[in-house]
Structure 1
Amino acid sequence: MASQAIKITLERIALFQFTPAHCAQARAMLDWSIEELSRESGVSVEAIQRFENEQPVLDVTRLALAYRLESEGLAFFPGFAPGRGMNVRGSTPNPVGRADYAMVE
């Protein structure tokens, strides 16, 4: 039970910290196009465009993007550009393995 509560708390923190600006900045840092991020994350190009244009997307879509970018060693904090963490590989190294992955847009 406690591990589920921790998982939910970590997801809420990730949702709060990962912004549309972070997504675009992270893509630029990695030199990834929207199409490449789409291939890497399993999120549709249209959903990424909506997110980066500050339009609504599902939370699971935002998490899939955040977790995929985190798996490249990026860290996200409100008010700051993405940074490279030391030995950071994200809390979900394989977002596709998540039970709710089928909901990704």
Structure 2
Amino acid sequence: MPSAFTQFLCGLDFALGPSKEVIITGDINSEDTREMIGVLRKSFVPNKVVVFLPEGPSRQEMEAVAPFLKSYSSIHGHTTAYVCSNYSCSPPTSDASRMIDLLCGEPVE
């Protein structure tokens, strides 16, 4: 059995979908940003792509490469997550638990 077989299966699973995208925007030094990223890292959610969109000069550099990122911003100064799938996003949330619920496919209330 090839040693990369299981990694191949993971790639195939991702390619066949479905997949989710998460855009987190906020200040990398804030506690709520670290909490949201920490919750995401601790959760097993396969087939996801995560983009962290920081405040400041790095944001402009990322927007120059990926202009679609301009439409994502922090809400009321809080770290905000956008969970997207099939070219549409759920309403933004600043709640890490809600972000995980959306990633796991639970319905939007």
Q: Same fold (TM over 0.5)?
A: no
- Larger Rg over CA atoms: 2
More strand by share: 2
**What TM-score range do you get, normalising by the shorter chain?**
under 0.3
TM-score normalised to structure 1 length:
0.28
More helix by share: 1
